[in-house]
Amino acid sequence: MAAPADVIPRRPTLLLVVVLSLLFVLMSFSSRTRYVGETRTLFERTVMTILSPVPRAVHWLGSGASDMYHGYIDMRRAVAENYQLHHQLADLTADNLKLRQSDADLRRLRSLLAYSDQIDLETSMAQVIMLDTSSSFKSVIIDRGSASGVEINDTIVNSSGLIGRVVLTTKDLAKVQLMTDSNCSVGALIERTRRQGVVRGDAATGAQMYDVPSLADVQPGDQVLTAGIDGIFPKGIPIGTVVQAQRGQDLFKRITVRPAVDFGNIEEVIVIHTRKIPPEIVRYAP
Amino acid sequence: MRWLRFIIGLLIALTLHSLLDSFYPNALAFFNPYAILVVYYSMGGNVLGAIIAGVAAGFVQDAFSNTIFGLHAFSLTICAYAVAYINSRLVLRGTLAFGACLGGAVIVNELVIYILVNILLKQRIEMFEQQLLVKTIFTTLFGMAIYQLMLLFLREEPIEATQRQAGW
């Protein structure tokens, strides 16, 4: 395995000694320049300048690749986050809708309860389950019937005012004739002047008030309340507001009343179990 | 051709140096790509060429390391000379032989640097023993892997055992 002695170089060994000596001098010089504040020798700077494109290119490529990689990772993360946020948004929107619904229900029920407390008569709550305001006979059906104590001619109101009266009951349901029905008449009075009359439903305008003399003081904006003289509706329930009061062709005014209740969005109602006048008294004639 | 390969190898080592410096600054404390290059070249047995390779690789390493300029050139020249000298006398072939030479060269390189830093800067390298051990193991294993890959894919005899003629 040993090589012949003549191939072992001698001069390179001498060269090694020379090179190492020169390097040692260079190192000594370099280490000394560090103490006087100069960190790099001219030779060192020259080598750096010649080779600087390599680290610069590496840095450029490395940072480019790093940016691309991080950009890609960030994009993937953003896509996943976006997907997750979309789901979250859908869930939150559904929750928000539920909460809004609950909030609206709560406010409506609170106002209804507060209104119900103001009425001296016995009351119960009911939910409207069917609404028909389009046909000539305007009615709603509520989810309380005779089993809940609902009787014919019980008054139906909500927090805004008068809705109508019960015209038919079953065990669990009741049909309510709305005050806007043309067959419904309500004894009414003008709140400001206490002038009495009769409010009837009107398909075109909502309601008309009759039997008010031409000379009576009725102005648009006057509040119309139940008068409590018809034996069905208790006194003082808001019916609506006068929107037009004109002198009629006969002795009475033509008064148009806008109902206080928006019949398009009735949900919960209060059933007022009114005191019924016995038929004998109604029929009795001295 | 061999010098061209050395220059390409030097550029690759510098690229590796820059990459590690940019992304894992502590990695160069445990790994020396220049030592692999110099040992690979020196195993050809050309002592003169080995000295030049050691100086060139050392200068490049010095230029981009914050040490005394010439420190690595000095240590790598000694390593290169030693490896070339041994290979001029003995025919060492194969990955294991390369690994042995590389491991020895790394140890010598680190010891020379340790001594020079002590002499010139009057400083001690902290955790020198641990660093030496880790650097030797990592550099040797990595160097052997590269050597094996070159044997497999370049299909070229890396050790020019027949070109023993050294000299001016």
- Asked if the Cβ–Cβ distance from A27 to B70 is below 8 Å, we say yes
Question: Does the distance separating the beta carbons of A1 and B91 come in below 8 Å?
Answer: yes
- Tokens 């660093």, located at residue: B131
Taking residues A166-181, report their average pLDDT: 90
CA distance A35 to chain B (A): 10
In a shared domain, residues A169 and A143: yes
Q: How many CA atoms lie within 13 A of A152 on its CB side?
A: 5
Are A47 and B60 an interchain contact pair (Cβ–Cβ within 8 Å)? yes
Q: Is residue A68 part of a domain?
A: yes
Interface test with B, best of A15, A16, A67 (most B CBs within 10 A): A16
Planar angle of CA B161, B165, B167, nearest 5 degrees: 135
CA distance A34 to A248: 115
Q: What percent of chain A has pLDDT over 90?
A: 31
Q: Which residue in the set B47, B90, B121 is minimally distant from A9, CB to CB?
A: B47
The CA distance from A42 to the nearest CA of chain B, in Å, is 11
A256 falls within a domain: yes
Residue B115: phi and psi, rounded to 5, are -65, -45
What pLDDT, in 10s, does the model give residues B45-55?
788 889 999 99
- Any domain includes A187: yes
pLDDT tens digit string along B138-157? Answer: 999 999 998 888 877 765 55
Q: A58 to chain B nearest CA, in Å?
A: 6
Collect all residues of chain B within an 8 Å Cβ-Cβ radius of residue A32.
none
- A207 and A101 in a common domain: no
**CA nearest neighbour of A175 among A123, A237, A112, A131:** A131
Distance CA A282, CA B6 (A): 125
Contact between B66 and A31 (Cβ < 8 Å): no
- Specify whether A241 is located in the same domain as A198: yes
Residue A176 is assigned to a structural domain of this protein? yes
Same domain, A22 and A150: no
Closest to A182 (Cα-Cα) out of A199, A163, A158: A199
- Mean pLDDT of the A210-219 span: 89
Question: Which of A33-37, A54-58, A73-77 has maximum average pLDDT?
Answer: A73-77
Shared domain for A212 and A147, answered yes or no, is yes
A80-92 pLDDT, tens per residue?
Answer: 999 999 999 999 9
Asked if B14 and A54 come within 8 Å (Cβ–Cβ), the reply is yes
Q: Looking at the structure, do residues A151 and A109 belong to the same domain, yes or no?
A: no
Torsion angles phi and psi, residue A250, rounded to 5 = -100, -145
- Average pLDDT of A30-34? 71
User: What is the mean predicted confidence (pLDDT) over B113-121?
Assistant: 86
What's the CA gap between A141 and A131, in Å, rounded? 6
Contacts of A59 in chain B (CB under 8 A): 18, 22
Do residues A170 and A198 share a domain? yes
Same domain, A71 and A182: no
Tokens found for residue B76: 């790598």
**Do A88 and A188 belong together in one domain?**
no
Whether the CB of B163 is below 8 Å from some CB of chain A: the reply is no
Which of A97, A118, A139 is the C-terminal boundary of a domain? A118
Inspect the interface and report whether the beta carbons of B69 and A30 lie closer than 8 Å.
yes
Looking at the fold, whether A147 and A206 belong to one and the same domain comes out as yes
**Model confidence at A198, in pLDDT bands (50, 70, 90)?**
very high
Count how many domains chain A has: 2
Task: Specify the pairing of strand A253-259 against strand A268-272.
Answer: unpaired
Last residue of a domain, one of A78, A100, A118: A118
Q: Is B83 within 8 Å of chain A by CB?
A: no
Domain that holds residue A160: 123-277
Which of A118, A138, A169 delimits the end of a domain? A118
Is residue B168 scored above 60 in pLDDT? Answer: no
- Residue A220 counted as domain residue: yes
Q: Could you tell me which residues come within 8 angstroms of residue A184 by beta carbon, excluding any fewer than 6 positions away?
A: A164, A165, A177, A178, A200, A201
pLDDT of residue A281: 77
Same domain, A95 and A226: no
- Region B101-118: mean pLDDT is 91
Higher pLDDT, A164 or A7: A164
Averaged pLDDT, B64-81? 87
A156 and A251 in a single domain? The answer is yes
| Arithmetic mean of pLDDT over chain A | 84
**B55, B62, B77 member nearest A44 (Cβ):** B62
Considering only residues A49 and A279, tell me which one the structure prediction assigns the higher pLDDT.
A49
Q: Which residues contact A149 (CB under 8 A, 6 or more apart)?
A: A122, A124, A273
Question: Which H or E run includes A168?
Answer: strand A162-169
CB-CB contact of B106 with B143 (8 Å): no
Residues from chain B that touch A7, judged by Cβ atoms under 8 A, are 88, 164-166
| pLDDT for position A5 | 45
